[in-house]
Amino acid sequence: MKNKNTFYITTAIDYVNAEPHIGHAYQKIVADILARWNRLNEKETFFLTGTDEHGKKIANTAKQASKSPEEFVNEMSEKFKEAWKALNIKYDRFIRTTDKDHEKVVLELIKKINKNGDLYKGEYEGYYCTACESYYTEKDLIDGKCPYHNVKIEKLSEETYFFRLSKYQKFLLDLYEKNKNFILPEERKNEIVNRVKEGLKDLSITRTSIEWGIPFPLDKKHVVYVWFDALINYYSATRQKGKEKFWPADYHLLGKDNGWFHAVIWPAILKSAGIEMPKTVFIHGFLTFNGQKISKSLGNSISPITLANKYGADSIRYFIARQFPFAEGKDGDFSEQALIDRHNNELANKLGNLVLRVSTLAEKYG
């Protein structure tokens, strides 16, 4: 049973195929604010963030940079740490999916799931987007392209191990019904529930065509699928000595492109392994730029470090928290002019004038 005086908040761990952008910072800033608030309220707080470092795209990007995958992810994870330092984000652990303690827990969970009869070998045929390391059905595609990255998608056929996700349809629908705040906000919950009601297909959780990943313990020819490995980080971080008391998580914060993995696949994995459910999966909208998602893949990313150096971390943090409808789960369009206007009108003029008046009165009347 979790200690009621603890607070555990996680962000999605960021894929390190390219450098961090302000879209990544959106979620981290909100998580940091919530963590600080709970610390002020004297709750023992654990704020987890980190990097997702396995998969085909990482291996390909490292090769293009003439580096080994290990060398590449080591360099890139440091860049994410530098970005969060520039924005004064105070996490309690920065987890990496290449961490040995994480890998150990992944292997333990796979063995538990297999013991529960939820893994079997088969052949996967379908569509795969390397840009987001995600599987799609033909109906998911938009003009033959990934619905999130607008890139052509490859058709795969390979031997794989499947997780019996279809087995957990009723469990998931009951979970959503009995735990009204398991998925927030309501609009995102309705999307997930409606899709689950349509039926679930078993999930491919291994790959044979790549080597950069956690070796699959049941078959040496396979490595663990990057998303299956990455989801487990939220739990593996709490298997360290002294951190066990924080599970289950109070909030998983993640973008709407990750909602299915966290609200469907993750609880099914946990149920199979006999692990308690997180309390809330909160699915927020995207930061957009000129109406498009800010994304490495789309080439419209903005560096958090550049912005922090130009405007200061506090201005960026205030703008992110004040400007965008995070709690509603809706998208928000980013512009430097809007940032400048918020800073000048609210911080410099209103707050600045208030501080000046109060300090003047304090000096005058003691």
Least confidently predicted of 46-55, 133-142, 210-219, 274-283: 133-142
pLDDT at 218 over 90: yes
Nearest to residue 43, comparing CAs of 2, 13, 84? 2
pLDDT of 146: 80
pLDDT at 70 over 90: yes
How many angstroms separate the Cα of 5 from the Cα of each of 153, 235, 250, 330? 47, 19, 11, 31
pLDDT of 78: 98
Active site residues: 21, 24, 129, 132, 146, 149, 293, 296
**pLDDT digits 0-9 by tens, 74-117:** 999 999 999 999 999 999 999 999 999 999 999 999 999 999 99
Per-residue b or e along 152-174, where b marks 16 or more CB atoms closer than 10 Å to that residue's CB: ebeeeeebbbbbbbebbbeebee
Least confidently predicted of 94-108, 144-158, 309-323, 344-358: 144-158
Least confidently predicted of 79-88, 130-139, 152-161: 130-139
Q: Which two tokens stand for residue 145?
A: 């392209």
Range 258-278 average pLDDT: 98
* pLDDT-based confidence at residue 285 (cuts at 50, 70, 90): very high
How confident is the prediction for the chain on average, in pLDDT? 92
Nearest to residue 32, comparing CAs of 295, 344, 361, 313? 313
Domain 6-328 has CATH 3.40.50.300: no
Range 285-310 average pLDDT: 83
Q: For strand 119-129 and strand 154-163, is the pairing parallel, antiparallel, or unpaired?
A: antiparallel
pLDDT of 129: 76
* pLDDT-based confidence at residue 2 (cuts at 50, 70, 90): low
pLDDT of 126: 72
pLDDT of 366: 67
* pLDDT-based confidence at residue 7 (cuts at 50, 70, 90): very high
SS (H, E, C) the chain: CCCCCEEEEEECCEECCCCCCHHHHHHHHHHHHHHHHHHHCCCEEEEEEEEECCCHHHHHHHHHCCCCHHHHHHHHHHHHHHHHHHCCCCCCEEEECCCHHHHHHHHHHHHHHHHCCCEEEEEEEEEEECCCCEEECHHHCECCECCCCCCECEEEEEEEEEECHHHHHHHHHHHHHHCCCCEECHHHHHHHHHHHHCCCCCEECEECCCCCCCECCCCCCCEECHHHHHHCHHHHHHHCCCCHHHCCCCEEEEEHHHHHHHHHHHHHHHHHHCCCCCCCEEEECCEEECCEECCCCCCCCCCHHHHHHHHCHHHHHHHHHHHCCHHHCCCEECCHHHHHHHHHHHHHHHHHHHHHHHHHHHHHHC
**pLDDT digits 0-9 by tens, 169-188:** 999 999 999 999 999 999 99
- Phi first, then psi: what are they for 86, rounded to 5°? -65, -30
Nearest-angstrom CA–CA distance, 133 and 154:
11
Place of tokens 């105070």: 90
Q: Which residues contact 264 (CB under 8 A, 6 or more apart)?
A: 165, 172, 192, 195, 196, 200
pLDDT at 149 over 70: no
Place of tokens 């999605």: 12
**pLDDT digits 0-9 by tens, 253-264:** 999 999 999 999
Nearest-angstrom CA–CA distance, 161 and 147:
25
